[in-house]
A and B are shown apart, each in its own frame.
Chain A
Amino acid sequence: MLDLLEKYTPNLLDYSDEFVKSISETLQMLFLSGTYSFIVGLFLGTLLVVTRKGNILENRAVHRILDGVVNLFRSIPFVILITALIPLTKLIVGTFIGVKGTIFPLVVGCTPFFIRQVDMALSDIDNGLIEAAQSMGLSPLGIIFRVYLKESIPALARSTTITTISLLGLTAMGGAVGGGGLGSFVIRYGHNRFYQDITYVSVIVILIFVTIIQFIGNIIIKKTSH
Chain B
Amino acid sequence: MIQLIDVSKTFISDNVSVHAVKDVNLTIDQSEIFGVIGFSGAGKSTLVRCINLLERPTKGQVLIDGVDLLQLKERDLRLHRQKIGMIFQQFNLLASRTVFENVAFPLKHRGISKDKIKEKVLSLLDLVGISDKLCSYPSQLSGGQKQRVAIARALASDPSILLCDEATSALDPQTTKSILKLLKDVNRKLGITIVIITHEMSVIKEICHRVAVMENGNVVELNDVISTFSNPQASITKDFINSTSTLSRIDELIQEKSDIVKLNQGERIWRLDFYGSETKEPIIAYISNKYNISPSIIFANVEVVSDTVLGSIIVLVTVSDQIEKDVIQYLNDKQIKVEVIKYA
Contacts and interface: CB of A to CB of B under 8 A. Distances in A.
A137 B79 contact: yes
A226 interface: yes
Contacts of B79: 137
Nearest to A142: B109
Interface string A129-147: 1011011111100100011
Contact of B81 (A136, A146, A147, A150): A136
B92 A226 contact: no
B95 A151 contact: yes
Contacts of A146: 105, 108-109
B97 to A, nearest CB: 8
Contacts of A136: 81-82, 105-106, 153, 157
A154 B94 CA distance: 13
B124 interface: no
Given A135-B84, A136-B81, A226 B137 contact: yes
Nearest to A53: B13
Contacts of B139: 226
Interface in B138-196: 138-139, 153, 157, 163
Contact of A226 (B52, B78, B95): B95
A68 B157 CA distance: 42
A224 interface: yes
Interface residues of B, number: 27
A151 B81 contact: no
A38 to B, nearest CB: 20
B101 to A, nearest CB: 10
Interface in B66-96: 78-82, 84-86, 88, 90, 92, 94-96
A137 B105 contact: no
Contact of B52 (A135, A150, A151, A224): A135
Nearest to B78: A137
Contact of B92 (A132, A139, A142, A150): A132
A126 interface: yes
Contacts of A77: none
A123 to B, nearest CB: 16
Nearest to A131: B54
A139 B73 CA distance: 12
A224 B139 CA distance: 13
- A126, A131, A136, A146: most-surrounded residue (chain B CB, <10 A): A136
15 contacts: A126-B92, A129-B94, A135-B163, A136-B81, A136-B82, A137-B81, A138-B106, A142-B109, A146-B105, A147-B94, A150-B94, A150-B96, A150-B97, A151-B95, A151-B96
Interface of B: 52, 54, 78-82, 84-86, 88, 90, 92, 94-97, 105-106, 108-109, 137-139, 153, 157, 163
Interface of A: 126, 128-129, 131-132, 134-139, 142, 146-147, 150-151, 153-154, 224, 226
CB-CB nearest 6 A-B residue pairs = A137-B81, A226-B137, A132-B92, A135-B86, A137-B78, A137-B82
